[in-house]
Amino acid sequence: MVISKNMENLVANSSVIRRLFEEGVELAAVVGKENVYDYSLGNPSVAPPAIVKQAIYNILDSKDPNFIHGYMNNSGYEEVRDAVAESLNKRFDTDFSRESIIMTAGAAGALNCILRVLLNYKDEVICFAPFFGEYRSYISNFGGETVVVPADTKTFQLNLDVLDDYITEKTKAIIVNNPNNPSGAVYSEETLDKLQVILEKAEARIGHPIYVISDEPYRELVYDGAKVPFMTKHVINCLVCYSFSKSLSLPGERIGYLAIPKQIDAYEEMQSALVVANRCLGFINAPSLFQLVAQQCLYEETDIETYDKNRQLLYNSLTEMGFECVKPQGAFYLFVKSPTEDEKIFVQEAKKHNLILVSATTFGCPGYVRLAYCVPYDMIERSLPAFKAVAETYFGDKK
């Protein structure tokens, strides 16, 4: 092997999703694209709002090209960071200023900057199962260890009853993803207040801060009037990673931001290190044109009704067939309990009916599968007979 040991591990661990993608493509070549029901990827199916295209034209027409396409401060354009800070302050009654905002290459860029800044070799980062599987790669990329708090499968809220057992002197950070991919759970104010109490005690015991990384790409994607509390109002040492990938359907453009509240421990040291991390990780700065686009779309909302229609159809149909599903309050994923103990067998069975599902072992929660319902509504409709056939193999004519 010419590649490093660390990279070897990262490649091995990323092969699950790659294989799934390849399997879908192979299957489509045999049975036809319209007969493959691919629920694997979290790529938004709703088009970006019209204002995005308009903003691109406006910016290109009205601004100096060297300004639009040039280098700028590594944390982003001042006017964009001012606008982001103002939008947060207006919506959440916070006191961010341009210094506390760093424009990043999506939420992934923000997460990687924070982990780069915090982690020494073998430092630990806690993730609550189920969690976005990529966190493992991000953490191990900087020599850290992922520590998994098992899921509370009754509520799919943060499993705070056992959290303290997983905190050690090596704990540097905890990642909280609200609303959650893959369960669709939304964590309440009470949950976050309880988290703060646990952290204060643990920080006193271990003698250093534990930073909570609030990963929020799905902040606005909520249903039935659910509210996502703004984490920094509840957890003191909290940094927010936001992304326009889902809210504006722009995942390929790589645009998001990191918000650093002044209340966190070692604010100035963290802020300046995070700007350097953005540069030394090779991002240099977030994509320039899309910083300016984001600035013009900060109050824009995605078409949540479309995702909600998908959610209702899939959740109602699958539960009616006998599957046990967590009713998602946010994001665009349905988390389904496998009817067999080993969900990988269920995934294989579903594949026989051209259904591509993701095993939740990837998300630290074996025994479940994830369905991304950011897909065309008619694909869900067409896939229902396939789910029905799978249901019959497990539940017979009980339903």
Contact flag: residue 112 with ligand PLP (CB under 6 A): no
In sequence order, what are the residues at sequence separation of 6 or more whose Cβ sits closer than 8 angstroms to the Cβ of residue 34? Answer: 382
Residue numbers 40-79 binding ligand PLP by CB under 6 A? 42
CB of 321 to ligand PLP, least distance (A): 27
Quick check: 346 and 15 in contact, CB under 8 A? no
CA distances from 398 to 106, 324, 353, 391 (A): 46, 14, 20, 10
Contact flag: residue 130 with ligand PLP (CB under 6 A): no
Which of 120-128, 243-251, 283-291, 293-301 is the region at the interface with ligand PLP (rule: CB under 6 A)?
243-251
Contact flag: residue 133 with ligand PLP (CB under 6 A): no
Site mask for ligand PLP (CB under 6 A), range 167-186, x = bound? ----------x---x-----
What does the alpha-carbon distance between residue 280 and residue 259 come to, in Å, rounded to a whole number? 19
CB of 353 to ligand PLP, least distance (A): 26
* Other residues' Cβ atoms within 10 Å of the Cβ of residue 113: 26
Amino acid at 103: M
In sequence order, what are the residues at sequence separation of 6 or more whose Cβ sits closer than 8 angstroms to the Cβ of residue 296? Answer: 51, 55, 58, 59
CB of 172 to ligand PLP, least distance (A): 19
Nearer to ligand PLP, 111 or 292 (CB): 111
What does the alpha-carbon distance between residue 384 and residue 399 come to, in Å, rounded to a whole number? 15
Q: Strand 238-243 and strand 256-259: pairing? A: antiparallel
CB of 86 to ligand PLP, least distance (A): 22
Contact flag: residue 270 with ligand PLP (CB under 6 A): no
Nearer to ligand PLP, 100 or 112 (CB): 112
Contact flag: residue 106 with ligand PLP (CB under 6 A): yes
Q: Which residues bind ligand PLP (CB under 6 A)?
A: 42, 106-108, 132, 177, 181, 215, 217, 243, 245, 251, 256
